[in-house]
Amino acid sequence: MDRAACRRDAPDNRCQPQQTSRMAEAFHGERKTDAHDAYVIAQTLRMRDDLPTLTLADGVQQLKLLVSRRLDLVADRVRITARITVRIQDLLTMISPALGKTLNLRSRGALRLLAQWQTPAGLRRAGEARILAYLRQHGVRAAKALTAKALAAARTQTVAVAGEATAAGIVAEMATDLEAVNDRITAIEETLASVVADHELGEIVTSLPGIGTTLAAEFLAHAGTLTTYPSAAALAAHAGLAPISRDSGRRQGHQVRPHRYHRGLRRVFSMSSFTALSHCPRSRAYYDKKRAEGKTHRQATAALSRQRLNVLWACIRDKTPYQAKQPRSGELAPCKLA
How far apart CA 80 and CA 175 sit, in angstroms, is 11
pLDDT confidence band for 192 (50 / 70 / 90)? very high
Q: Does 210 fall in a domain?
A: yes
Could you tell me the CATH number of the domain that includes residue 92?
1.10.287
253 within domain boundaries: no
User: Domain for residue 75, yes or no?
Assistant: yes
Looking at residue 334, its pLDDT comes to 53
**Whether residues 91 and 21 fall in one domain:** no
Q: How far apart are CA 312 and CA 26, in angstroms?
A: 40
User: For residue 226, is pLDDT > 90?
Assistant: no
Predicted confidence at residue 62, as pLDDT, reads 86
Give residue 160's pLDDT. Answer: 83
Direct distance between the N- and C-terminal alpha carbons of the chain, in angstroms, rounded to an integer: 50
Output the pLDDT for position 4. 44
Give the pLDDT band (50/70/90) at residue 134.
very high
The answer to whether residues 333 and 324 touch, using CB atoms and an 8 Å cutoff, is yes
Q: Which of 268, 262, 156, 266 is nearest to 216 (CA)?
A: 268
Q: Does residue 210 sit in the same domain as residue 312?
A: yes
Q: Quick one: average pLDDT of 226-252?
A: 82
pLDDT confidence bin for 338, thresholds 50/70/90: very low
Q: Are residues 161 and 95 part of one domain?
A: yes
Whether the predicted pLDDT of 84 surpasses 90: no
Residues 300, 267, single domain; the answer is yes
Q: Which domain holds residue 124?
A: 59-195
Q: Let me know whether 66 and 184 are in one domain.
A: yes
Residue 309 above 90 pLDDT? Answer: yes
208/306 same-domain check:
yes
pLDDT category, 213, cuts 50, 70, 90? very high
